[in-house]
Amino acid sequence: AADKKAEALRTHSTEEIHRINAEYTQNLKGCSFCGRHHGALKEQCPAWKRRCAKCGKANHFANCCNSTSIDSNRSSYSPTISAVKMEEKHPGVRSAEIELDGKKINFQLDSGAGVSLVPRSCIPTVPLSATNLTLRMWNWTAVKLAGKFTATLRNPANGKQIQQVIFVVEEDFLSLLGVEAIEALDLVTFHCINAITTELSHICKKYQGVFDGSLGSFPDICKLSIDPTVRPIVLHMRRLSFAIRDSFEKEISRLENLGVIRRVEVPTD
C-alpha cells in the first residue's frame, strides 16, 4: 500500500500535490460558530442555543466571536428581571403602592428579581451614581441603566421601612420591587415546604442497617421474565485457573453463607 501511494504521488506534478494538500486543509476547517468539527445540522453544533461570553449573543462561542469590542458596562453578575412596560397591559401582574422617599409609587412585585428599579421618568431630578451592572430580561435582552441611588422605601400598610439601592432605567418600565425589598417590607411571605434539616450522623444512627456494609434483602420473590421461544442450551462447567481457585472458593463460600446462593447437588429444571 505504501509503494502504491508513493507511485501515485510521483505521477502528480508539484502544483497538483499542493492543490490536493490545500483542499485537504480546507476540508478540515472547523465550524465558524464553535471552532470544532461536527455534522452539518445546526443542532449538532455545541454552540447551538448557547450564549457567547464575550458579546452576549446566541449560537456561538467566545473564541469564534466576531465582535471587535466588549461592552465595558457588562458585569459577570447579570440579574434577570420580569419588567413590564407602561403601555402594556398584564392583568396577572401583582403590584403594591410603596413610598419611595415620601413619594407614592405603584411597584410591580417580582419575587424572582434580585434588584429593584424605577424608570427615569418617575425621578427626573434625583442625582444618580454610575453602575456597571447589567440587567437582563427573561429573554436575555439587556436593559439600559441610567444609574442607581439609595432610597427609603416604606410600606404604608404596616409602617415598615428600609434603605434600598434602586436602579434607574431609561425605558418606561413599571417600577419593580425585587425579592429583598419584598421580604423586608412584609409584602409577601415565603414558606419552605417539605424542607428538612438534619445531621448526617443522625441519619446513619437511625438507619444503621443500611450503612453497615452488609447485603440487603427484599421480602418478595424475584420473577425473571424469559422468552419462551428461545431454545435453551446447557453449558459445561468451565475450568478455573489455579491462580484464582482459592479466591473463587472463598467468594462462593461467602455468598453461600450470606444466603445469596445455595449449593445444588442434583440437576434442576
Q: What is the mean pLDDT of residues 119-129?
A: 89
Q: Is the pLDDT of residue 149 over 90?
A: yes
- Place 27 in a pLDDT band, splitting at 50, 70 and 90: very low
What does each C-alpha distance from 172 to 87, 130, 176, 213 come to in angstroms?
A: 8, 19, 11, 64
Which of 19, 158, 165, 137 is CA-nearest to residue 79? 137
Output the average pLDDT for the chain: 77
pLDDT at res. 234: 84
pLDDT at res. 52: 80
How far apart CA 255 and CA 118 sit, in angstroms, is 71
Which comes out higher in pLDDT, residue 183 or 3?
A: 183
Paired with 96 in beta bridges are: 107
Cell reading at 126: 434625583
Q: Is the pLDDT of residue 18 over 90?
A: no
Q: Is the pLDDT of residue 204 over 70?
A: yes
pLDDT at res. 246: 93
Which comes out higher in pLDDT, residue 108 or 142?
A: 108
Please tell me the least confidently modeled range out of 83-97, 131-145, 177-191: 83-97
Q: Residue 169, exposed/middle/buried by CB under 10 A (0-12, 13-18, 19+)?
A: buried
pLDDT at res. 8: 57
- Place 22 in a pLDDT band, splitting at 50, 70 and 90: very low
CB 16: neighbour CB atoms within 10 A? 11
Which position has the grid cell 467468594?
Answer: 251
Task: Decide if 45 contacts 33 (C-beta within 8 A).
Answer: yes
How far apart CA 135 and CA 74 sit, in angstroms, is 9
Domains of the chain and any CATH numbers? 80-184 (2.40.70.10)
Residue 3 phi/psi, 5-degree rounding, is -65, -40
pLDDT at res. 74: 44
% residues pLDDT > 90 (the chain)? 18
- Place 167 in a pLDDT band, splitting at 50, 70 and 90: very high
Give the strands of the sheet with 80-81, arranged side by side: 80-81, 135-137, 142-143
How far apart CA 150 and CA 164 sit, in angstroms, is 6
Q: Is 263 helix (H, G, I), strand (E, B) or coil?
A: coil
% residues pLDDT > 70 (the chain)? 74
DSSP 175: P
> Which one-letter amino acid corresponds to residue 248?
F
H helix runs in the chain, sequence order:
2-11, 14-27, 179-184, 200-206, 208-211, 242-258
Q: What is the pLDDT of residues 211-267, one digit of tens each?
A: 877 777 777 888 888 899 999 888 888 888 999 999 999 999 998 988 888 888 887
Q: What is the pLDDT of residues 67-103, one digit of tens each?
A: 765 444 444 445 555 554 544 555 566 888 999 999 9
